[in-house]
Amino acid sequence: QGTGGGSNSIRGLIGGGSSPFSNIIEFVNIASLGDAQDVNADLHAVKGYMFAMKASSRGVVGGGVYCCPGAYYNTLEYVTIQTTGTISDFGDISTTRYEGGTASSATRGVLMGGYGPGYTNIIEYLTMATLGNTVDFGDLTNQNSTGNYSACSKTRGVIGGGYVHPGTPYSNIIDYI
């Protein structure tokens, strides 16, 4: 529960998690059956509900939470999808947050919404091939920013649904960039 993941056409990565909280990264070979295997590189912190993006050769994870009491993260880390053994610092997100949506292309990763310690409608991006911090991209149309779902193609990212706080209805709004 609450893991981050990404893949290329050969290998899929799964990292972190919240039940139980974890810093382990595992991989699967997409073309064959079998159990996940340890990448032998761990996230720098035990956390779940991270933002996860990928380009053809690089996976980037960021943000996240370790609960109770909540410790929120703004760090970004990356791993080369085809290798095992090294996860490195990528940069930082402008604020601590978790459980938002993501979209990525071959050149850019986008983080949308999230929580930590307040709800946000902020959209930020990073350039996948270079290291560095996120940059402001714009805003979502609503602030229902946790428990939402995202997907992307090579040219468009979508995010929908979401939850703000008790007593507020879940959102049925879908935004795209």
**Which tens digits make up the pLDDT trace of 58-102?**
888 898 888 766 788 999 998 888 777 778 899 999 999 988 889
Whole-number pLDDT of residue 91: 96
Distance of CA 114 to the CA centre of its chain: 10
Q: What is the DSSP letter of 21?
A: B
How far apart are the C-alpha atoms of 87 and 75, rounded to whole Å?
A: 12
Strand segments (E) across the chain: 4-7, 11-15, 22-29, 37-47, 51-54, 58-62, 65-66, 71-72, 75-80, 88-92, 101-104, 108-115, 119-127, 135-139, 146-152, 157-163, 174-176
Query: What is the pTM assigned to this prediction?
Result: 0.85
The residue assigned the tokens 């996230």 is 43
